[in-house]
Amino acid sequence: MAEAHGFAPTPSKRFHLTKPQNSPKLDPNPNESPWMEQLPNPPRATIHRLTLGQAQVITLLDGAQPRDSINPPFLMDKSPFEIETIAKDQNLAPGSFENSYTPTLIHLNGQVILIDTGLGAAGRGAHAGQLKTRLTEAGFAPTDVDIVAFTHCHPDHIAGVLEDGVPTFANARYVIGRREFDAWADGTEIPPQRAQNRELFLRTIAPLAPRMTFLEDTQTVVSGLVSQTAFGHSLGHMMYRLESDGQALLIWGDVTNHFVYSLQFPDSPVAFDDDQEAAKETRKRVLDMVVTDR
């Protein structure tokens, strides 16, 4: 089982690390080595394919946003010295990170299921909103999508569902957690800082209600794909478990938001989470489940 949100290819264990001819002597401090400074940034994959039994899973990079602070949103219970130590121990920049937006496409039993829709047109000025382009790169059109399943209703997961007020995925039906939909529709439990987010929900998701299926825990979306509750990051956050030919993949949305900090410190509060205590419990439960079931 693995996290599908933002996953990357696992490198082969068989590799060769060689030093270029005529390269300068390696400096004991790699951060100051002229050789390291000359290395170009590797090209970033915009789509990644994974075969899971009879299912094809494709992650689609809608975009990415550089952030110039780790605390907040992460490690908010750590001192600046602790954060710097943790980052350096993991070979990470101590004062920044990149926030990526990665919807997931599943081709299973003749059906095409899209999990989350990215930032849409609103994100295009910020190097995001590229989902339709990524679909084309992967060999699909928006009209090929049979089901759009939402993990939750934060902007980077729902804004791409409409384009100029028209549904982006014209032939799709929609699935969403009942608790998530009801919380945003009612509004009384939504944190004040999410007021604009709720307005987005009312413009984009609420009008689709007649075409929606509302999910409870462990409810089948299609054969092989089951919803599971993962409350905390949002009040009704859902994740999806994909199984095929005895293999399983957990697509968990924003249960974690960072590939190191969220995994190493699941108890640490995250500013992105609407219910921080519930989110911490969900992270620990899901990570424990992943380790137990692998």
Residue 127: predicted pLDDT: 81
Regarding predicted confidence, which is higher, 100 or 40? 100
Contacts with 205 (C-beta within 8 Å, 6 or more apart), sequence order: 150, 153, 158, 161, 176, 181, 184
- How much is the average pLDDT of 90-101? 90
- Per cent of the chain over pLDDT 90 is 78
Identify the DSSP state of 256.
Answer: -
* N residues, the chain: 294
- Per cent of the chain over pLDDT 70 is 85
* 100-159 pLDDT per residue, tens: 999 999 999 999 999 999 999 989 887 899 999 999 999 999 999 999 999 999 999 999
User: Do residues 266 and 280 make contact, with C-beta atoms less than 8 angstroms apart?
Assistant: yes
Q: 54 by DSSP, 3-state: which?
A: coil
Report H helices in 15-94.
34-38, 80-89
Type of residue at 128: A
User: Do residues 214 and 178 make contact, with C-beta atoms less than 8 angstroms apart?
Assistant: yes
Annotation: CATH topology of 43-293: Metallo-beta-lactamase; Chain A (3.60.15)
Type of residue at 212: M
What is the Cα 171 distance to its own chain's centre?
Answer: 24
Q: Residue 19: pLDDT above 50?
A: no
Q: Residue 22: pLDDT above 50?
A: no
**Residue extents of the structural domains in the chain:** 43-293
Query: Where does the pLDDT of residue 94 fall: very low under 50, low under 70, confident under 90, or very high at 90 and above?
Result: confident
Identify the DSSP state of 271.
Answer: T
- How much is the average pLDDT of 207-236? 97
* 45-56 pLDDT per residue, tens: 899 999 999 999
* 160-192 pLDDT per residue, tens: 999 999 999 999 999 999 999 999 999 999 999
Distance CA 54, CA 69 (A): 41
* 205-221 pLDDT per residue, tens: 999 999 999 999 999 99
| Mean pLDDT, the chain, whole residue set | 87
CA dihedral 225, 205, 173, 213 (to 10 degrees): 60
Distance CA 2, CA 149 (A): 19
Query: Where does the pLDDT of residue 35 fall: very low under 50, low under 70, confident under 90, or very high at 90 and above?
Result: very low
Q: Residue 250: pLDDT above 50?
A: yes
Distance CA 236, CA 229 (A): 7
Residue 28: predicted pLDDT: 36
Distance CA 240, CA 225 (A): 7
Query: Where does the pLDDT of residue 3 fall: very low under 50, low under 70, confident under 90, or very high at 90 and above?
Result: very low
Q: Is the pTM of this model over 0.75?
A: yes
Residue 255: predicted pLDDT: 98
Q: Residue 25: pLDDT above 80?
A: no
Report H helices in 90-245.
131-138, 155-158, 178-186, 195-204
Sequence-separated contacts (24+) of 214-223 with Cβ below 8 Å: 214/175, 214/176, 214/177, 214/178, 214/181, 215/175, 215/176, 215/177, 215/178, 216/177, 216/178, 221/113, 221/147, 221/149, 221/175, 222/108, 222/109, 222/111, 222/113, 222/147, 223/109
